[in-house]
């Protein structure tokens, strides 16, 4: 009889042990996959592709076309700096009959033709006056600014 009761006690203990293990395993595996606890707020971020492949025609042409080249966004040089760098050499002292800087009598008759015409002549050159007054990189508005600076 005593053997039987010992066997019984062991069986109960073993069953209790197995029950505890199953119960524990159940909590362990189910608690971590409860739908309510999954954080989906960053899900899109986490599963999005690392890079994107562009196939010809995919690229937004409008964006590429409206991106301005660097030369257009660069700041305009002031009339003073253009004059000092490119025009002063001749126009300061009137080399080869160049109308002198700030000299009213030299410029009076020329100004009568209008600023637009002076800019045009400055771009094309005239006599000893080289095209664009040697400032090959000058824009029309930069040349105009230089002329406006030197006729004052
Ligand atoms: C190599 C010398 C020289 C340089 C450099 C020069 N000029 Fe002249 N420029 C002249 C001479 C000479 C004349 C007179 C031309 C004439 O009337 O025949 C003149 C005339 C002009 C006139 C009057 C044109 C007209 O219709 O009568 C303007 C405007 C002018 N220059 C602007 C400029 C500007 C702006 C620069 C600099 C970006 C410049 N020049 C650089 C020699 C020069």
Ligand 1 pocket check for 147: Cβ under 6 Å: yes
Compute the distance between CA of residue 124 and CA of residue 87 in angstroms, rounded to an integer: 15
Which is the closest atom of ligand 1 to the Cα of 128? 12
DSSP, collapsed to helix, strand or coil, labels residue 57 as: coil
* CA nearest to 149, candidates 68, 98, 91, 90: 91
Q: Looking at the domain assignment, is residue 147 inside a domain?
A: yes
pLDDT confidence of residue 73: 59
User: If we measure between CA atoms, which residue out of 150, 13, 28 comes closest to residue 93?
Assistant: 150
Determine the Cα–Cα distance for residues 81 and 105; give it in Å rounded to an integer.
24
- Say if residue 88 is in the same domain as residue 143: yes
| Structural domain includes residue 94 | yes
Atom of ligand 1 nearest to the CA of 121: 26
**Residue 88 in contact with residue 98, Cβ under 8 Å?**
no
Give the angle subtended at the CA of 67 by the CAs of 65 and 69, to the nearest 5°.
Answer: 105
Give the chain's domain count. 2
Does 103 reside within a domain?
yes
Instruction: Dump pLDDT digits (tens) for 101-146.
Output: 999 999 999 999 999 999 999 999 999 999 999 999 999 999 999 9
Instruction: Name residue, tokens 């008759």.
Output: 109
User: Which residue has the CA at smallest separation from atom 8 of ligand 1?
Assistant: 129
Q: Which of 76, 103, 129 to mutate to test the pocket of ligand 1 (most atoms within 8 A of CB)?
A: 129
pLDDT at position 31? 66
Percent residues over pLDDT 90 in the chain: 55
- Give tens-digit pLDDT for 50-104: 877 777 777 676 676 677 666 555 688 999 999 999 999 999 999 999 999 999 9
In a domain, 106, yes or no: yes
Which of 59, 80, 49 has its CA nearest to residue 149?
A: 80
Residues 81, 32 within the same domain:
no
Check pocket membership of 116 for ligand 1, CB cut-off 6 A: no
Say yes or no: 90 and 27 in one domain. Answer: no
138 CA closest ligand 1 atom index: 38
Does the C-beta of 126 come closer than 6 Å to ligand 1?
yes
Domain contains 55:
no
Structural domain including 95 reads 76-151
Cβ(86)–Cβ(146) under 8 Å? yes
H or E element that contains 147: helix 140-151
């Amino acid at each position: 009889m005593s053997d039987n009761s010992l066997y019984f006690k062991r069986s109960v203990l073993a069953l209790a042990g197995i029950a505890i293990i199953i119960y524990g395993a159940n909590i362990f595996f189910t608690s971590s996959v409860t739908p309510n606890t999954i954080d989906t707020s960053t899900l899109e971020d986490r599963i999005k592709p690392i890079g994107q492949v562009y196939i010809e025609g995919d690229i937004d042409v409008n964006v590429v076309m409206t991106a301005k080249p660097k030369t257009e966004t660069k700041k305009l040089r002031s009339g003073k700096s253009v004059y000092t760098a490119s025009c002063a050499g001749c126009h300061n002292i009137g080399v080869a009959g160049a109308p002198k800087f700030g000299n009213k009598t030299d410029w009076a008759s020329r100004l009568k033709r209008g600023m637009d015409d002076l800019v045009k002549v400055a771009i094309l050159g005239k006599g000893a006056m080289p095209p664009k007054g040697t400032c090959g990189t000058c824009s029309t508005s930069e040349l105009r600014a230089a002329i406006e600076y030197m006729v004052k």
